[in-house]
Chains A and B, each alone.
Chain A
Amino acid sequence: AQSVTQLDSQVPVFEEAPVELRCNYSSSVSVYLFWYVQYPNQGLQLLLKYLSGSTLVESINGFEAEFNKSQTSFHLRKPSVHISDTAEYFCAVRANTDKLIFGTGTRLQVFP
């Protein structure tokens, strides 16, 4: 069975600082990995995904994530955050089943 662990429930940072949101997964087979973002009172939106190929994937708003198979990680990073990045971020894994398994989420709070 697959599982996802997001160790940090909350990450406070100041605006323009770098940030890393950690995600580790467990699976005995190849996986597809996703990051979703949830802004207040909204549904989840796909931020980026790793399917195959280059281990570094990027989103249109400056986030990037790197698939590390040896460490079974898919950490999300941004070199300089904005106030508008304040949201809940969910890592998710999908293996050879039909289900997308979500982590418990990390609340990113950006302060001015």
Chain B
Amino acid sequence: DAGVIQSPRHEVTEMGQEVTLRCKPISGHNSLFWYRQTMMRGLELLIYFNNNVPIDDSGMPEDRFSAKMPNASFSTLKIQPSEPRDSAVYFCASSPAVRVVYGYTFGSGTRLTVV
């Protein structure tokens, strides 16, 4: 298995532009999680899905952030408009199920820089 695949690996954009981050979970994993990692805040859970349905988006910073999971093999995290404070590494992770006691498998992350 190729693991959790995220794209792009690096993204540099100007303030005000729309940014779309992509994630392909491991086949057969029913749960998908988006995390953001910064030096100041560490790892923050933004949103997670179970069977393509958003379960908890309480970690999404504000309305500029949105996430979708149109099918079991693809998810996007969109920031519109982007701001410098959104600069961070964004990780996607997947798990076989939400309430089963598995750990998560993380992707390699997308390093976002907003200038």
Interface residues of A (CB under 8 A from B): 32, 34, 36, 41-46, 49, 51, 90, 94, 98-105
Nearest-CB distance from A111 to chain B (Å)?
22
**Cβ B103 vs Cβ A42 within 8 A:** no
What's the count of A-B pairs with C-beta under 8 Å? 49
B34 in contact (CB, < 8 A): no
Interface of B is mostly: strand
Task: Collect the chain A residues with CB atoms within 8 Å of residue B43's CB.
Answer: 44, 90, 102, 105
**Cβ A43 vs Cβ B106 within 8 A:** yes
**Cβ B48 vs Cβ A36 within 8 A:** no
Instruction: Determine the residue in chain B with the shortest Cβ distance to A43.
Output: B106
Q: What is the interface residue range for chain B against chain A?
A: 20 to 34
**Cβ B106 vs Cβ A98 within 8 A:** no
**Cβ B48 vs Cβ A98 within 8 A:** yes
B14 in contact (CB, < 8 A): no
Task: Collect the chain B residues with CB atoms within 8 Å of residue A90's CB.
Answer: 43
Task: Collect the chain B residues with CB atoms within 8 Å of residue A49's CB.
Answer: 101, 103
List CB contacts (< 8 Å) of B33-66 with chain A. Answer: 33, 42-43, 45, 48, 50, 55-56
Task: Collect the chain A residues with CB atoms within 8 Å of residue B99's CB.
Answer: 98
Residue contacts A-B, CB under 8 angstroms, 14 given: A36-B103, A42-B109, A44-B91, A44-B93, A44-B104, A44-B106, A46-B105, A98-B50, A98-B55, A98-B98, A99-B45, A99-B48, A100-B45, A102-B42
